[in-house]
Amino acid sequence: MNIALGVSGGVAAYKAAELVRRLQQEKLDVQVVMTRSAKEFIAPLTFAALTGQKVITEMFGGEAGEPANVESAIEHIAVAQRIDLLVITPATANVLAKLARGIADDFLTTLYLATTAPVVVAPAMNVNMWEHPATQENLEILRARGVRVVDPDEGYLACGMTGAGRLASVAAIAQVVCEVLGIRHDFDGETVLVTAGPTCEDLDPVRFLTNRSSGKMGYALADAAQRRGARVILVSGPTALTPPTGVECVQVRTAEEMHRAVLERAPECTVVIKAAAVADFRPVVPHAKKIKRGAGRFTLELEPTPDILADLARVKGDRILVGFAAETDHVAEHAREKLAAKRADLIVANDVTQHGAGFDQDTNVVSLFARDGRELSLPRLSKFDVANRVLDEILHLRHGSRQAPAVHGAPPSDR
């Protein structure tokens, strides 16, 4: 998720650097936008080093006096469209007044008008400025528009006075950001094992049997679980994906290798989510040499691969076991059969022939079938949102109460 962090000119601007680090711990990408006054208190280089991104300080060009170019002239629109949240800290009385009255005379205030993303402001100023009727009126205007205001703390101020106006703590600001974005830590203490991707079953040294799974659904589940506080083990078949940051990834190739890896790591886990598209069959005898083209037909004898979900059920204990069912017909009937046969707690089923669902898609349309008889059909969602809805259902099974809506706005993903 992408955050624009606006920094305006106040002595508390240095605390914005600490906020960058705190937001990065939530796996948020931070783009810093500074006013000219902010540069008097902290150098843009500090934020560039922390974020690994350029710091925007001027509406046109990089610095005052530089020639404008087409990219810089429309950059505020590009930033406005890609961010999921705009946070301004510290927000001075001057900036609050501009926001309230719609004045757009620099990049930050123009960005505010151009974005439809939620906005959080954390004011910091002299106590008399904070209590002034004009400032309070501007704050009421912003609150009425839906802007979240993180009220300042009381205490000793840089000007030597005592009272309200000191920037709220970094922890308090970060908490509001997480609330607005829907980020939760409700999987703290859980260890979640997720399988993802296809398996490859060798026919000969140059050919193998596989399927169309890209692994993105499983990777989205791993990403969502670790964002919500879980320790995550991702057992992945061959994919072109990069494992999410902070996730332990075990690379496998065949169904036998995935079976072995999952059964070895399952004792560590409180939740196992089998999202991989494991091959159901493999050649009985892989050929040691390349099979040459012949004049007639070629018969291939196959045998079943290990049933990972069924074997997990035998050592299930009190862990939550989730399976996926990619179907082409009678989806609900097959999902209920799988739920009972595999002794799973939850089956996530979808019709892979449906538009916007299944392999090679950025969205999915799934139905959830739970051990307690509940069945829930979801609309078409990004794979990341599907992942969070699955995690919500896991918590429902664990605690017996439905959780709040899941995180939204992350990049779409696919199985």
One-letter amino acid at 129 equals M
Q: Which parts of 54-149 are beta strand (E)? A: 85-91, 119-123, 148-149
What pLDDT score does 155 carry? 74
Q: Which parts of 253-318 are beta strand (E)? A: 271-274, 281-283, 302-304
Which of 120, 146, 181 is where one domain is finished?
A: 181
What pLDDT score does 403 carry? 45
Q: Is residue 409 part of a domain?
A: no
Q: Is residue 415 part of a domain?
A: no
Q: Tell me the residue range of the domain where 76 lies.
A: 2-181
DSSP states of 337-355 = HHHHHTT-SEEEEEETTST
The token duo for 352 is 């892979």
What pLDDT score does 61 carry? 60
| 157 and 205 inside one domain | no
**At 109, which CATH number?**
3.40.50.1950
| 165 and 249 inside one domain | no
What pLDDT score does 75 carry? 67
Pairwise CA distance, residues 363 & 354, whole Å: 11
Split into its structural domains, the chain has a count of 2
| 155 and 201 inside one domain | no
Catalytic residue at 200? no
Instruction: Compute CA 355 distance to the chain's CA centroid, rounded to the nearest angstrom.
Output: 24
| 232 and 208 inside one domain | yes
* Coil, helix or strand at residue 263: helix
Pairwise CA distance, residues 350 & 376, whole Å: 12
Pairwise CA distance, residues 75 & 79, whole Å: 6
What pLDDT score does 163 carry? 67
Query: Phi/psi zone of residue 343: left (φ > 0), alpha (ψ -120 to 50 degrees), beta?
Result: left
**∠ at Cα 223 (352, 232), nearest 5°?**
110
Instruction: Walk along the chain (415 residues) and give the pLDDT tens digit of each residue.
Output: 899 999 999 899 999 999 999 999 888 999 999 999 999 999 999 999 999 999 999 887 655 445 544 445 466 688 988 999 999 999 999 999 999 999 999 999 999 999 999 999 999 998 999 999 999 999 999 999 999 999 998 876 666 667 677 899 999 999 999 989 888 889 999 999 999 999 999 999 999 999 989 999 999 999 999 989 999 999 999 999 999 988 999 999 999 999 999 999 999 999 999 999 999 999 999 999 998 888 788 889 999 999 999 999 999 899 999 999 988 899 899 999 999 999 999 999 988 887 777 676 778 889 999 999 999 999 989 898 999 999 999 999 988 744 444 444 444 333 3
| 275 and 176 inside one domain | no
Pairwise CA distance, residues 141 & 159, whole Å: 27
| 203 and 344 inside one domain | yes
| 137 and 199 inside one domain | no
| 169 and 215 inside one domain | no
One-letter amino acid at 18 equals E
Which of 181, 210, 242 is where one domain is finished?
A: 181
**At 219, which CATH number?**
3.40.50.10300
| 320 and 376 inside one domain | yes
* Coil, helix or strand at residue 6: strand
| DSSP letter, residue 145 | T
Which of 159, 178, 200, 269 does the annotation list as catalytic? 159
Task: Please say whether the beta carbons of 41 and 11 come within 8 A.
Answer: yes
One-letter amino acid at 362 equals D
User: For residues 73, 104, 99 and 141, what is the CA-based torsion angle, rounded to 10 degrees?
Assistant: -120
Q: Is residue 406 part of a domain?
A: no
What's the length of the chain?
415
Q: How far is CA 13 from CA 10, 49, 167, 176, 236, in A?
A: 6, 16, 9, 18, 43
Pairwise CA distance, residues 13 & 38, whole Å: 7
